[in-house]
Amino acid sequence: MTQSAAAAVASLPRRNPSPLVLERSRELLDRARSVIPGVTLSMMKRPEHFAPGAFPVFLSRGRGALVEDVDGNEYVDFICGLGATALGHQHPALIEAARSVLESGFIHSLPVSLEVTAAELLVDTIPGAEMARFFKTGADATSAAVRLARAITGKERIVAVGYNGWHDQFMFDTPGVPKALAGLTRRLPLFTPADEHPLLAAIEQEAGSLAALLLSVPYNRPLSREFLQSVRRACTQHGVLLVFDEIVTGFRLALGGAHQYFDVQADIACFSKSLAAGMPLSAVVGRREHLKVMDTLQVSTTFGGELLSLAVCEATLNVYRSTDYIDQLARLGRALRDGVNAAASVANAPLRVLGYDPIPLFSFDREPTRHSTLMRAFQAQMAERGVLLRRDLNFINGAHTEEQIEFTVAAAADSLSAMQRAGLFETL
C-alpha cells in the first residue's frame, strides 16, 4: 500500500456493527435526564434532533473529521460542533496555541496583550473592519450589536432575519419572554424570492423607528448579490444600520463571511463558531465610527479576555489566511452536493442538498413533518454506515478529505436504496 493510500484508509471510520451498539450512550442518556434539563447543554444537540435509538447520543473523542462515540463506533462528522470545529478536531496548530499559554493562566486581573494582537489580526482579516470587541457566544455578539445600533441611531426597533440567538429580544414569541418585547423586534423570512420585496418594504416603511436590520442569510437558497445591494442601498437611504449575523457564515463562505462573499459592506458584523474553531469566542466588528460608541455602553463580560480562546483564535485566523481553506470547503461541499443529489435521483428519492457548498442543507420536503420523518430514517441509515448528519444544515470542515466525501456519497446511495426498498418514499 502506498503512503497516500494508507493515509486515505486512515481517514475513513472503522466499520460499525449493524445494528449500531449504543449501550453506553443509552446509559448516559438515562443519567443525563435526571440531572440536566433537556439532556444536554445545547438545544440542537438533543437526541430528538437526530434518530433516537439508532444514533449516538454521546461522543468521546474526535480527530480530524472523524469522531468516536462512547461505545467505540466511528463516524465521518458533518455536525462539526454545530459548525464550530471549522478546522476539524485536534488541529495541531490550535492544540499548540492552547498549550503555549497554559502556563500563563486562564484569565487575568487586567487586560492581556492577546486582546490587542487578536483584535489587530481579526480586523486585518475582515474587509471593512477597523475595530473589534470580543465576547463568548454568538448570542452575546448579536445582542451587543443590537444595543450598539440602538445607541448609534437613537432608534429602538429592529428587523431580524434568521436565527440570531436565544436572548429575549430575538425569541420574543417563546415561553418565559415578556410579551412587551414583541413590539421591538420584527422577524421576517427570506426563504423564497417572494420574501425579498416585503423585507425591502419594511426597511422603508419602518425607517423612522428602525435601528438595524440584523441579517443571517437563509441556508436553503443562495441570495443574489443584486438583492443584497438593494438591501444595502435601502438601509443607507433610510438611516438603518445593516448588521450581518456571520455566526455561521463567517470564515466559511469567505473569510469575512457573507458580506464579503457578496461584496456588500456591512455596518457591523458578528462572528463566532469558526472564529476560534471550537473555542468559546465571538466578536463584533465594524468601522471605527460605529465601534467607538461601544465605549459608552454597558457591554461587558468577565470571560471576554480568556487567554486560551484568544490564542486559539490567532492560530485559527493564521491557518485560514495561509491556506486554501475557503476554496477547499467549497470544492468538497460541491462534490458532496453533486454526489448525494445524483444518488437521490437514482433511488427516486426526494432528497436534495441545497444552499451554499460549505454549509450543505439536506432537504427531503418543504413540509416539516414529512422532511423530519424521512430525514430521521436517513440519519439512522447513515449513522450505521459511519456518517453523522444533522437533520438540516451540515458543515464541511478543513479536515474533510476527498476520500471521506466519496465514502459519504456511497453511504448516502446505500441508505437511500434501503429506504426505497422499504417503501418509505411512497408511504408518506
In tens, the pLDDT along 106-164 reads 999 999 999 999 999 999 999 999 999 999 999 999 999 999 999 999 999 999 999 98
What are φ and ψ of residue 63, in 5° steps? -150, 125
The pLDDT assigned to 7 comes to 44
Residue 2, pLDDT score:
35
Phi, psi of 395 (to 5 degrees): -135, 140
pLDDT of residue 60: 97
Look at residue 171 in the predicted model and tell me its pLDDT: 87
What pLDDT was estimated at residue 27? Answer: 97
For residues 63 and 399, what is the distance between their CA atoms, to the nearest angstrom?
9
HEC per residue, 135-177:
ECCHHHHHHHHHHHHHHHHCCCEEEEECCCCCCCCCCCCCCCC
The set of residues, in sequence order, having a beta carbon less than 8 Å from that of 205 and lying 6+ positions away, is: none
Q: Tell me which amino acid residue 27 is.
A: E
Asked if CATH classification 3.40.640.10 holds for the domain at 92-322, the reply, yes or no, is yes
- Residues 96-108, mean pLDDT to the nearest whole number: 93
Could you report the per-residue pLDDT of 187-217, keeping only the tens digit for each?
Answer: 999 999 999 999 999 999 999 999 999 999 9
Residue 5 pLDDT class (50, 70, 90 cuts): very low
Pick the CATH number of 3-77+324-427 from 3.30.710.10, 3.40.50.620, 3.90.700.10, 3.90.1150.10: 3.90.1150.10
What DSSP assignment string belongs to 267-330?
Answer: SEEEE-GGGTBTBS-EEEEE-HHHHGGGGGS----GGGG-HHHHHHHHHHHHHHHHS-HHHHHH
Confidence (pLDDT) at 10: 62
pLDDT at residue 170, rounded to an integer: 87
Q: Average per-residue pLDDT in the chain?
A: 94
Residue 67, pLDDT > 60, answer yes
pLDDT tens for each residue of 223-276: 999 999 999 999 999 999 999 999 999 999 999 999 999 999 999 999 999 999
Between the CA atoms of 297, 271, 203 and 241, what dihedral angle is there, to the nearest 10 degrees?
Answer: 40
Is there a contact between 231 and 201 (Cβ–Cβ < 8 Å)? no
Q: Do domains 3-77+324-427 and 92-322 have the same CATH topology?
A: no
Cα(340)–Cα(406) distance, integer angstroms: 10
| Residue ranges per structural domain of the chain | 3-77+324-427, 92-322
- Whether the full predicted model's pTM is greater than 0.85, yes or no, is yes
Q: What percent of the chain has pLDDT over 70?
A: 97
| pLDDT number for residue 428 | 55
C-beta separation of 134 from 115 below 8 A: yes
Instruction: Look at the chain and count its residues.
Output: 428
| Exposed/middle/buried for residue 327 (C-beta within 10 Å: 0-12, 13-18, 19+) | exposed
**Residue 330 to residues 65, 306, 335, 411: CA-CA distances in angstroms?**
16, 32, 9, 21
